[in-house]
Homo-oligomer: A and B are copies of this chain.
Amino acid sequence: MALRHAVLAALLDEELSGYQLAKAFDLGVANFWYAQPQQLYAELTRLERDGLVSGREVVQESRPNKRLFRVTDAGLAELEEFTAASTKPSFIRDDLLVKVQAADHVDTTALVAQLTERAAFARARIDLFGKLLRGMRGDRTEEEFLRDGDRIGPYLTCLRGLAFEEGNRDWCERTVATLRERRQASSPR
């Protein structure tokens, strides 16, 4: 039950609809978890059934009505309990790493292309995270914000996301360079 707590954590700061939540989780703004819209709707239904969030219908004129959800006291207690419980370690689990692991035994042309693509993706997210961070801290420096700001949770997780993507970018670039160099060395024109 991890998605469950991720949803609760995301709803702590603002009341959101399932759709808005899906946006955040899908487009990586919520860099601490990832989920498909359908999963979120289902989870919200379960959370409401269990009394951990409460939804209220908001009637809209020019678009479909929506339900905004907020965390209840019981939900906050659940999160508190979750936070106190021990955390299991997390591991990287990435198709791209599997492919690189096999790099000595398969053709690397397509692999290099995919590493390049991933590096570009990482750069886009680094950009996004940089903007999000600047938006959150406003005109303060990072140090000031982390000392005095309220709601530093999202900022801290965003920092982790940023570092992760920087790691991706650097590793992809380096791996591409390595594979290219080896290819040239093994098959000179």
Contacts and interface: CB of A to CB of B under 8 A. Distances in A.
A110 B83 contact: yes
Contacts of A100: 32, 153, 156-157, 160
How many copies of the polypeptide does the oligomer hold? Answer: 2
Interface in A95-116: 95-107, 110-111, 114
Nearest to A121: B89
Contact of A152 (B34, B118, B178): B178
A9 interface: yes
14 contacts: A13-B104, A32-B94, A32-B100, A79-B102, A90-B92, A90-B93, A101-B153, A101-B156, A102-B153, A104-B153, A146-B178, A146-B182, A147-B178, A152-B178
